[in-house]
């Protein structure tokens, strides 16, 4: 049996789908039972579930409550109801993906649990990230604690260059850089027609995220007006957009993305899912997600998709891009396969 330790109790589409993708990939490829660790920081739960409801906008409040309810139902179907009872049967813990090593996280800060505190089982890290935390850790006590924890991992892989440098400086080892699990595997529930309910008749552009400057908003509006495209915001409320769809489950979210004409995003997984489904997309470089996004787009030569003083109207050649992407997928799958076979014989 395997236990995954990540942020799977989130209501964030990316966090949920990366957790489910990793779980299903392992279960299907290696025929072993995978459990999700029940631990989740209370401050993070508050920030994701309850803080968005602290609003005077009735429509936003109503849709947020709907979203939380729909996602809870979706999670029961997607992840199942099994709860790990006997941890002594676990042969391997997989830490990640996501920013579980972000020791400067605004919501829960440094959490030694996610570094393997008091866990003497076999453990690997898959596509973990320290987010926007500085790889040059200056707090000597914290640096020493994390170094001790990291040295107890059997194998470490990360998702971005910043985290690569962080691990290398603390352990003198070079971790592998791998892909987010959502690029490695597609969960079955994303094709479940029972969970696809939102149908939009007009051609539209999907906006995912909230970090867009006034000038970027102007450029997006002009881009869509020129093409007679409706603008919809999914998952987050944007005042500058008339149509805000907040109350979607992850399957709805992916369906809306797949059927959009273009995607504009400031989210890491907005970029990842756009690439996964070969969408023409553009992104705003959110400082919080800068390290993750830059590593990913640099690997695929997608730097021209950033919205600066204008919007590059050239199309992405996915035929060529997918050649590189497929090699990275194979590398990521191999990392998982080699380590799972080693510990779960």
Q: How many whole angstroms separate alpha carbon 112 and alpha carbon 152? A: 13
Are the C-beta atoms of 99 and 268 separated by less than 8 Å? no
Q: Is 5 helix (H, G, I), strand (E, B) or coil?
A: strand
Buried b / exposed e over 65-104, threshold 16 CB at 10 Å, is eebbebbeebbeebbeeeeeeeeeebebbbbbbbbbbbbe
Helix, coil or strand: residue 167: helix
Specify the 3-state DSSP secondary structure of 104. coil
Residue 204 pairs in a beta bridge with 230
Phi first, then psi, for residue 44 (nearest 5°) are -70, -40
* pLDDT at res. 205: 97
Bridge partners (DSSP) listed for residue 93: 3, 123
On whether the CB atoms of residues 328 and 176 are closer than 8 A, the answer is: no
The pLDDT score that the predictor gives to residue 167 is 96
Report residue 85's pLDDT band, with 50, 70 and 90 as the boundaries.
Answer: low
Look up residue 340 and give its two tokens.
Answer: 């799972």
CB 208 within 8 A of CB 263: yes
**What pLDDT is recorded for position 313?**
87
DSSP string for 30-89: H---EEE-----HHHHIIIIIGGG--S-HHHHHHHHHHHHHHHHHHHHHH-S-----GGG
Q: Could you tell me the two tokens for 208?
A: 């995912």
Strand pairing of 230-234 and 243-245? parallel
% of the chain at pLDDT higher than 90: 67
Lowest mean pLDDT among 133-147, 168-182, 270-284: 133-147
pTM: 0.93
pLDDT at 6: 94
**Least confident stretch, 86-100, 109-123, 236-250, 298-312:** 86-100
- pLDDT tens, position by position, 109-152: 889 999 999 999 999 999 999 988 888 887 889 999 999 999 99
Phi, psi dihedrals of residue 105, rounded to the nearest 5°: -60, 130
So what's the pLDDT on residue 251?
94
- In this prediction, residues 252-277 reach a mean pLDDT of 96
Report the C-alpha gap between 41 and 60 in whole angstroms.
25
Q: What does the chain come to in residues?
A: 345
**pLDDT of amino acid 106:** 62
Assess whether pLDDT exceeds 70 at residue 345.
no
Does 196 score more than 80 pLDDT?
A: no
Asked if pLDDT for residue 262 goes beyond 80, the answer is yes
Calpha distance 292→54 (Å, rounded): 29
Residue 170 has pLDDT above 70, yes or no: yes
Tokens 């789908």 belong to which residue? Answer: 17
């Amino acid at each position: 049996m395997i236990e995954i330790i990540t942020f799977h109790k989130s209501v964030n589409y990316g966090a949920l789908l990366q957790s489910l993708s990793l779980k299903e990939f392992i279960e299907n490829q290696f025929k072993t039972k995978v459990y999700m660790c029940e631990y989740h920081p209370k401050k993070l739960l508050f920030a994701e579930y309850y803080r968005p409801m602290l609003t005077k906008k009735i429509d936003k409040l109503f849709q947020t409550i709907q979203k939380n309810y729909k996602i809870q139902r979706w999670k029961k179907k997607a992840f199942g109801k099994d709860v790990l009872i006997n941890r002594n049967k676990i042969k391997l813990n997989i830490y990640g993906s996501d920013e579980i090593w972000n020791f400067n996280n605004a919501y829960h800060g440094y959490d030694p649990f996610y570094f393997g505190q008091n866990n003497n089982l076999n453990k690997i890290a898959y596509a973990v990230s320290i987010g926007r935390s500085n790889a040059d850790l200056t707090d000597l006590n914290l640096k020493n604690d994390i170094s001790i924890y990291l040295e107890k991992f059997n194998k470490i892989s990360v998702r971005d260059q910043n985290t690569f440098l962080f691990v290398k400086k603390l352990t003198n080892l070079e971790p592998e850089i791998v892909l987010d699990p959502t690029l490695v595997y597609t969960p079955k529930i994303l094709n479940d027609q029972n969970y696809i309910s939102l149908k939009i008749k007009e051609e539209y552009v999907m906006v995912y995220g909230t970090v867009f400057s006034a000038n970027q908003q102007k450029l997006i509006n002009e881009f869509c007006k020129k093409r007679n495209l409706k603008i919809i915001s999914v998952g987050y409320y944007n005042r500058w957009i008339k149509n805000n769809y907040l109350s979607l489950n992850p399957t709805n979210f992916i369906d809306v993305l797949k059927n959009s004409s273009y995607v504009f995003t400031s989210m890491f997984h907005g970029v990842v899912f756009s690439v996964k489904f070969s969408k023409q997309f553009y992104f705003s470089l959110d400082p919080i997600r800068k390290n993750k996004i830059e590593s990913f787009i640099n690997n695929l030569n997608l730097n021209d998709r950033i919205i600066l003083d204008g919007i590059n109207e050239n199309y992405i050649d996915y035929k060529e891009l997918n050649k590189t992407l497929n090699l990275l997928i194979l590398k990521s799958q191999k990392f998982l396969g080699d380590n799972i076979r080693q510990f779960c014989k």
